[in-house]
Structure 1
Amino acid sequence: MISDAQFATHGFLPAEDPLIRFGDGSEFAPLDELGDNLPSLLEDPGFRSYARGLRLPPLPVTDPSLPVLRLYYVRLGFLASAYINQVGAEPMRSLPSNIAVPLCDVCARLERPPILSYDGYALFNWKRFDPAGPIALGNIDTVQNFVKLYDEHWFILVHVEIEAIAARLLAAFFDAEQAVAAGDRSALDAAMRRVVGAVWEQVRVLRRIPEKMDPALYYKTFRPYIRFFESVVYEGVDIAPMDQRGETGAQSSVVPALVAFLKIPHKPTRLTDHLEDMRRYMPAEHRAFLRRVEAMPSVRDLADKTLFNEALEALASFRETHLNFAQEYIARWVEDPRGTGGTPYLEWLGQLIAETRAYKVV
């Protein structure tokens, strides 16, 4: 279980920087080599035949360390999504047992569905150039990718910095909780200023997406790999076809935590059902944390009105930036756009923005 102190210092990122290689002496070393070669392998039309012949090292019966489990999940999750959604070919309807069995094994141990999700694509998929430097663009890179283009690195790394900033956000939540319990308006306002500052900083980072990510390259080269699985049989595990949500920012716990903290009421719709379903793809500790924030008292009546409304406006601007990018990077390229999670996201994002702004104190 992750403590409040860990959330306040690391946000939803791991308490220690992710493991980036198993190492030459490890029984899992072949997965490092496979991960290194994956972008090149995917350029070969024969990749799927090659992948079916791989002999992947299984996990031992006794759980290895959590960093090892996470890296194993990253390597297998990327491989499975690469196999199902290889660009230039039709999506597959079955995942061969040599990949499906170990993927399902590691995902069961991590208490999550057997598909690469936001945690494996972003939260566990980064490293620092300078270990003493910040977790920020310019000092971080990815561990695993689908393609050779830096555009994919940039897409992932923007999210990693946003997650790093969230540590300040969560720390402010805890201070606000204490201030409300004590009826201390001054302390609550100080905490709310930090909430506002952190969210606007996240907006600033998100707006950097176009600096190094081309819309056409995103849509055509690496977005297909994080697409949902539709009616896929996991051979050697279950004969019944499964549907799994693809990697999406809706699986990040940052915005749901902010919504829970501010107690923003979203009317029950297919959208709220979808957002609730996205929690299944979050790490178990993050799901528990969201329940913890939902149980916090409301700050709306005690906080300074201007600060509370500014927090709502910052969140609405974050969602608006996301919506604008969804239109530029996805909707313009297809007649009936669906998110990688398989959802009508344009309509839903608009609803979230409107309901967020409607909650302002007048």
Structure 2
Amino acid sequence: MKVQDFATFKLSDYNISDDYGFILQEPLMPELGIQHLKDYKEKVLARVLLSHIVMGYVWQDADQGVVKVLPRTLAIPYCHLSKILGLPLIMVHADFVLANWKRKDALGPLTMENLSTIVSLPGGNSLQGFVLVTLLVEVAAIPGIKAVVQAIKALLTEDRPTLLQALRNMAQSIQNMGEALQLMYDYVDSDIYYNTIRIFLSGWKDNPSMPNGLLYEGAVDEPLCFSGGSAAQSTVFHVYDELFGINHQPESFDFLLKMRQYMPPAHSSFIDWVKGVPKLSVYVQQSADLDLLSAFNMCVSTLTDVRSLHIRIVSKYVTTAGARARVKGLAAGSGAQHLQERGTGGSLAMTFLKSVRDTCKGGLLKKSTAADC
């Protein structure tokens, strides 16, 4: 280096500020545009990232000192993207699970050992386990979804052999969903779920920690309220309820109906399509075919078993873990107590789950009914 080289020397060439030195001056995130996102998949993945950032920002101090305003640098792109995708302004099941996974080995199977999340919130291995176990439930549902379409086609053409096989395939798929859900006990610590994960999945509707909701700065003029993540946002259970003619109690059904607004619109439309076909239960009853009736009841019974398992999981991970936390003084806040009583989606958790399970069981058909038709 020569003295004359200093004639053009600038600290800024080395990203060094005259006023701040090596410190990055005013390190605030710029407002991000979404105009470069090309297709549906890119937009979905962008929302996955933004949704996790939003939940992390809102719940960074748990339910103590919760923020009331989402900064415009987050709020504006999040609102624009959500409007395009037809999703509410909060993280939903589709963000947290359905689009938040990757294979470790690109050619490997969809198994716990070969899966990882794309984005995570606090909770460590238990958070990853919670997401991936839930994902495996959705993976187990894939053959059942295909069987639903086969069953409807068979119903419309009165093809009993195909309908029977489709129902048996559904029953097996639902059983596999339950086996996948059972993995929750192996991969998720109940105390970590209750004291950490649960908080970051919570919404700002009917939540005393955020009684007025959240203001999306620069995007809306008034605070808005949205329910948090919930298993009720999983489309497959709604599909089965409609196909099997499960008639839930008004309050439970009202909540389930609201949760359909938290699904990708195309998934919700699939539920409507299933709802619009002739009643499968009526056809099975009128057929007087005991094999069909047995297969139908196996589906409903297995679905009831999965919902009973869900109740046991909620009992362990919310009710019992919540009692432990209160004894230890970890859940003294009003918001924590609220979430102990309600699910992250805002429903009265155990009351809702038991109601849904019981009405599901009520969907079983009686042999005498079929024989008398």
TM-score normalised by length of structure 1: 0.82
The match for 1:267 is 249
**Partners in 1 of 2:161 and 2:259 — Cα distance?**
36
**CA pair 162-52 structure 1, distance change in 2 beyond 3 A:** farther
Q: For residue 84 of structure 2, what is the aligned residue in structure 1?
A: 109
The match for 1:176 is 151
- Deviations along 1:274-296, whole A, 9 cap, x unmatched? 11111111001101111111112
- 1:223 is paired with a residue whose SS is helix
Structure-2 residue corresponding to 1:345: 349
Question: Do the aligned residues in 2 keep the contact of 1:52 with 1:98 (CA within 8 Å)?
Answer: no
Letter in 2 for 1:319: R
| Contact in 2 for aligned 1:219/1:329 (Cα 8 Å) | yes
Q: CA deviation at 1:298?
A: 2.3
Q: How does 1:1-362 map to 2 (within 5 A)?
A: 53-60=28-35, 63-88=37-62, 89-147=64-122, 149-229=124-204, 230=210, 231-269=213-251, 271-300=252-281, 301-302=283-284, 304-332=292-320, 333=322, 336-362=340-366
Deviation at 1:135, TM superposition (A): 2.2
Per the TM alignment, residue 354 of structure 1 is displaced from its structure 2 partner at its CA by 1.0
- Which amino acid in 2 is paired with 1:331? T
CA distance in 2, matches of 1:260, 1:52: 51
RMSD: 1.9
Answer yes or no: is the 8 Å Cα contact 1:137–1:157 preserved in 2. yes
Residue range with higher mean Cα deviation, 329-338 or 287-296: 329-338
Long gaps (5+) in structure 1:
1-49
Task: List structure 1 segments (4+ residues) > 3 angstroms apart after TM superposition.
Answer: none
Asked if the contact 2:123–2:193 (Cα under 8 Å) also holds between the matched residues in 1, the reply is: no
| Structure 1 residues 51 and 93: CA distance shift in structure 2, 3 A | farther
Three-state SS of the structure 1 residue aligned to 2:223 is: strand
In structure 2, C-alpha distance between the alignment counterparts of 1:69 and 1:184, rounded to whole Å: 41
**Unpaired runs of 5+ in structure 2?**
1-24, 205-209, 324-336, 367-373
Query: Contact between 2:140 and 2:177, CA under 8 Å: does it hold in 1?
Result: yes
Displacement of 1:299: 2.3
3-state SS of paired residue (1:138): helix
Q: In 2, Cα distance between the equivalents of 1:327 and 1:51?
A: 46
Aligned length: 311
The offset of 1:63, in angstroms, is 5.0
**Letter paired with 2:342:** R
Rg larger in 1 or in 2?
2
Preserved contact between residue 52 and residue 96 of structure 1 (Cα < 8 Å): no
**Deviation per residue, 1:314-355 (Å, 9 max, x gap):** 111111111111111112205551111111021011111111
Q: Work out the CA distance in 1 between the residues paired with 2:343 and 2:123.
A: 23
TM-score (norm 2): 0.79
Deviations 1:206-232 (A, max 9, x none): 011010111001111222111002411
Give how far 1:52 is off.
8.9
**CA 1:132 to 1:297, structure 2 compared with 1: closer, same or farther past 3 Å?**
farther
CA distance in 1, matches of 2:195, 2:126: 12
